[in-house]
Structure 1
Amino acid sequence: MPSVAFHTLGCKLNFSETSSLSRLLETEGFEKKDFEEKADVYVINTCSVTENADKECRQLVRRIQRKAPSSFVVITGCYAQLKPREIAEIPGVDLVLGAAEKFNIAEHLRTLTKGDNARICSCDIEEVSGFNPSYSLGDRTRTFLKVQDGCDYGCSFCTIPKARGRSRSDTIAGVVAGVRRLTTEGAREIVLTGINLGDFGLGPDGRGAAALSDGREHFGDLIVALDDIPGIDRYRISSIEPNLLTDDIIRFVAGSRKFMPHFHIPLQSGSNRILGLMRRRYRRELYAERVALIRSLMPHCAIGVDVIVGFPSETEADFRETFDFLHELDVAYFHVFTYSERADTHALSISPVVPTGLRHERNKTLRNLSFMKTQAFNRAHEGQVRPVLFEGRAHAGTDGAAPMMEGYTDNYIKVTTPYRAEWVNQVVDWKL
């Protein structure tokens, strides 16, 4: 029986696809192994949002070459679609699978031979139109369920539309069937994922239909349908653009017992000037309105923020606007990204370039603010009793202490406690 090991870089959607690829190969007779073990085939599912993700891919290939030089190395994911020839030139890479070919991996492995030049199986991203449902299971307590893929937005810093293609989605019936299947496999919490999740919908050409007329499927319709399915305790919305997070969606989550009080809403900048240069489809005023409505309906809700520092031409005044805006916002945490130049993006034409050292300083400043926000959010809930879903993995305790386990409250506060097997994948009422 041949063996295969996987490594995932990037977003929750990548994790769901890796898990699906793993199950696909297991049905084809492959034995799944840990990435640190020796395997016949190594599959790296890549990201290309930042330059670091590209570098990490190359480093992983070098590690495999040292550990198992006769093994096959397969690269797929966003980096593989964007720069297949660059990847094919990395010593040790045998197969590069673009966006349209990743789910045909078993077929490609059957005819792969070691020692030849790397085989590239890719196509123009405009030709990618199919939707492949994916979900993660077994690796984490929370299941990441892909319901949407691709993006029609043209943000000036982003290569995702070139890596993932146009916006397209599953149908509501397809998602519901997938969720019902997950209930039989022990899933307790499902995280809905996509590249532009709020653009979920099936238009006449299979593309996202968030702005189409009534009668089309929309993200709001999807969450209403999922709320009625028995057997699933909790849903989370992974990330949703502020202009697609409607008042109706917020109000529905506020009244739902299954959709958790937790939103992750990309901001990217608190400066309207920078938002314009980024080609974002909202301004800071709309973002503030969304946060205010959530707070009015769900005071306990966790709100996460994506923000980019060091975008071309970002002045000290622009950064101060972002800092002050985030300081005043009633949110729980940030994901802070340092701007990274990406080939074939409009942002490359914007000047002046922010020095790399200054970008890192600004990143550190916002990460410090995020830490304080998280501490304040956690303190505000001390003494409350909230439901915690505990994960299955046991974490080694420090200095020989008992192994620990982790879980999250409904509003995404992390809880760590000594491991108890009877709490694995169970929702426990917990006094914070």
Structure 2
Amino acid sequence: MNSRKKVAFYTLGCKLNFSETSTIARSFTDEGFDRVDFSETADIYVINTCSVTENADKRFKSIVKQAQKSNPKAFLAAVGCYAQLKPQELADVEGVDLVLGATEKFKITDYLNDLSKNDFGEVHSCEIEEADFYVGSYSIGDRTRAFLKVQDGCDYKCTYCTIPLARGISRSDTMENVLSNAREISAQNIKEIVLTGVNIGDYGKGEFGNKKHEHTFLDLVTELDKVEGIERLRISSIEPNLLKNETIDVVSKSRAFVPHFHIPLQSGSNEILKLMKRRYMRELYVDRVSKIKEVMPHACIGVDVIVGFPDETDEHFLETYNFLNELDISYLHVFSYSERDNTEAVGMDGVIPMNVRNKRSKMLRGLSVKKRRAFYESQLGTTRTVLFESENKEGYINGFTENYVKVKTPWNPELVNTLHEVELTKIDGDGLVRIEFIKQLAV
């Protein structure tokens, strides 16, 4: 394997997938491969798949074609959630040589003794019950911030979701491991770590589905805050019923945790929340937002919402729209409901036509623009710390404040991956806050 073969990766889906791709990529580097960009010619292309939306399924085929265009003789492997749920479907795509399920993806280099093309896709998958062990991962070198995986799988039974089928039961990394990974990341001059998982508020469940929590998410947050060298820690997404007052209080007084929460809501109607089998009602959501704003008035709060769930009437949708309109939140991630095989919702009556789903989605996206603008306006006149990113975007460099306001300033390569204190003074035509000058180096 040491003839310096080239490998390229493409990641679909969430931050968790990015962290796992990065870990898989390091295993290739350890085996003597050179990593190249996906647009370049490689000997092996690895696609880390997602199954959350119909769109991710469709995109897989076009990514396979892109790889084949670069090198028709390249070996092509698929891993990830879609590979676990529908391995044969992926194996049947022309050009795919290897499909690995949930337990096999981290052992991918073991399957690469022979890189010649197969006549048909070879599948190595497992029953999801076998995915009861934990593999820690984090992303490095791909972005300004690192994604650190602390938990995997989910024990919830939301009626629209395939994640438990794709990733198995809830299980967590040990505290010792997470802290060790955090130190490794900070040693590489990465300024921000984003904690990721499928259901990170459930952190603490043992490796083999042991339901006893040795540590809680609160313990994890408290200990990570003490790791030296990490400038910023961000919680990626946490269920409202698992975001406790104590955690909010720790973040509000924290050295490194930033005032930014992403909290899935999915619907502002209690009737729809019950049909979805979510573990809270809208009243709890109001309570979480109020608590955050009470101790961190400048906090940014993002929300996931699903429109067009079965039986969502116009009245239910307006309930959600009005609920969000009145709530002190900062932006929305809007998803149109998509039917997924082997979920409870797929057999429900009251299917919402696609054009109605699209219309509702458009309305909420419009509300999100309004909410983000209002949040940005509320921050004008304040001084914040910005972490600048690495891309030159049409002569500008972008960055994010600790409370997730996106800013821009004329391109200067010296600003890449640095933290600076800036005053937020005006919103540009593209909706970003334009920084006229950088006052001082914060770090």
Which TM class, normalised by the smaller chain length?
A: over 0.9
Indicate the residue corresponding to 2:341 in structure 1.
343
CA–CA separation in structure 1 for the residues paired with 2:209 and 2:422: 43
- Superposition pairs of residues 16-415 of structure 1, within 5 angstroms: 16-203=19-206, 206-207=208-209, 209=211, 212=212, 216-395=214-393, 397=394, 403-415=395-407
TM-score calculated relative to the size of structure 2: 0.93
1:261-295 superposed Cα distances (whole Å, 9 cap, x missing partner): 00000000000000000000000000000000101
TM-score calculated relative to the size of structure 1: 0.96
CA–CA separation in structure 2 for the residues paired with 1:426 and 1:391: 8
Letter of the 1:427 partner, please give it: L
Q: Are the aligned partners of 2:170 and 2:205 in contact in 1 as well (CA < 8 Å)?
A: no
Note the C-alpha offset of 1:30: 0.9
Note the C-alpha offset of 1:60: 1.0
1:379-407 superposed Cα distances (whole Å, 9 cap, x missing partner): 01111110001112222x2xxxxx32111
Q: Are the aligned partners of 1:151 and 1:160 in contact in 2 as well (CA < 8 Å)?
A: yes
Indicate the residue corresponding to 2:421 in structure 1.
429
CA–CA separation in structure 2 for the residues paired with 1:279 and 1:187: 39
Note the C-alpha offset of 1:208: 7.0
Q: Are the aligned partners of 1:144 and 1:192 in contact in 2 as well (CA < 8 Å)?
A: yes
Letter of the 1:207 partner, please give it: G
Q: Are the aligned partners of 1:169 and 1:206 in contact in 2 as well (CA < 8 Å)?
A: no
Secondary structure in 2 matching 1:224: helix
Letter of the 2:284 partner, please give it: L
CA–CA separation in structure 2 for the residues paired with 1:373 and 1:5: 38
CA–CA separation in structure 2 for the residues paired with 1:404 and 1:121: 46
Note the C-alpha offset of 1:59: 1.4
Secondary structure in 2 matching 1:386: strand
Letter of the 1:415 partner, please give it: V
Secondary structure in 1 matching 2:112: helix
1:49-84 superposed Cα distances (whole Å, 9 cap, x missing partner): 011000001111122233321111100000000000
Letter of the 1:420 partner, please give it: N
Letter of the 1:168 partner, please give it: R
Percent sequence identity is: 54
Indicate the residue corresponding to 2:439 in structure 1.
none
Note the C-alpha offset of 1:421: 2.5
1:101-150 superposed Cα distances (whole Å, 9 cap, x missing partner): 01111111123431332110111000111111111111111110000000
CA–CA separation in structure 1 for the residues paired with 2:342 and 2:208: 26
Letter of the 1:173 partner, please give it: E
Secondary structure in 2 matching 1:100: coil
Letter of the 2:78 partner, please give it: I
Q: Are the aligned partners of 1:309 and 1:338 in contact in 2 as well (CA < 8 Å)?
A: yes
1:359-385 superposed Cα distances (whole Å, 9 cap, x missing partner): 000000000000000000000111111
Secondary structure in 2 matching 1:361: helix
Ranges in structure 1 where 5+ consecutive residues have no aligned partner: 398-402
Q: Are the aligned partners of 1:6 and 1:42 in contact in 2 as well (CA < 8 Å)?
A: yes
CA–CA separation in structure 2 for the residues paired with 1:202 and 1:276: 25
1:324-354 superposed Cα distances (whole Å, 9 cap, x missing partner): 0000100000000000000000001211100
Indicate the residue corresponding to 2:440 in structure 1.
none
CA–CA separation in structure 1 for the residues paired with 2:280 and 2:34: 47
Indicate the residue corresponding to 1:10 in structure 2.
13
Q: Are the aligned partners of 2:82 and 2:166 in contact in 1 as well (CA < 8 Å)?
A: yes
Q: Are the aligned partners of 1:200 and 1:208 in contact in 2 as well (CA < 8 Å)?
A: no
Ranges in structure 2 where 5+ consecutive residues have no aligned partner: 425-443
1:128-176 superposed Cα distances (whole Å, 9 cap, x missing partner): 1111111111111111000000000010000000000000110111111
CA–CA separation in structure 2 for the residues paired with 1:101 and 1:336: 32
Report how many aligned residue pairs link the two structures.
421
Indicate the residue corresponding to 1:418 in structure 2.
410
Summarize the Cα distance change of 1:208–1:17 in structure 2 as closer, same or farther, 3 Å threshold.
Answer: farther
Letter of the 1:185 partner, please give it: Q
Q: Are the aligned partners of 1:169 and 1:208 in contact in 2 as well (CA < 8 Å)?
A: no
Note the C-alpha offset of 1:99: 0.6
Q: Are the aligned partners of 1:199 and 1:208 in contact in 2 as well (CA < 8 Å)?
A: no
1:10-54 superposed Cα distances (whole Å, 9 cap, x missing partner): 000000111111111011111111111111111100000011000
Indicate the residue corresponding to 1:400 in structure 2.
none
Secondary structure in 2 matching 1:296: helix
Secondary structure in 2 matching 1:106: helix
CA–CA separation in structure 1 for the residues paired with 2:172 and 2:71: 38
Secondary structure in 2 matching 1:308: strand
Q: Are the aligned partners of 2:38 and 2:67 in contact in 1 as well (CA < 8 Å)?
A: no
CA–CA separation in structure 2 for the residues paired with 1:272 and 1:62: 44
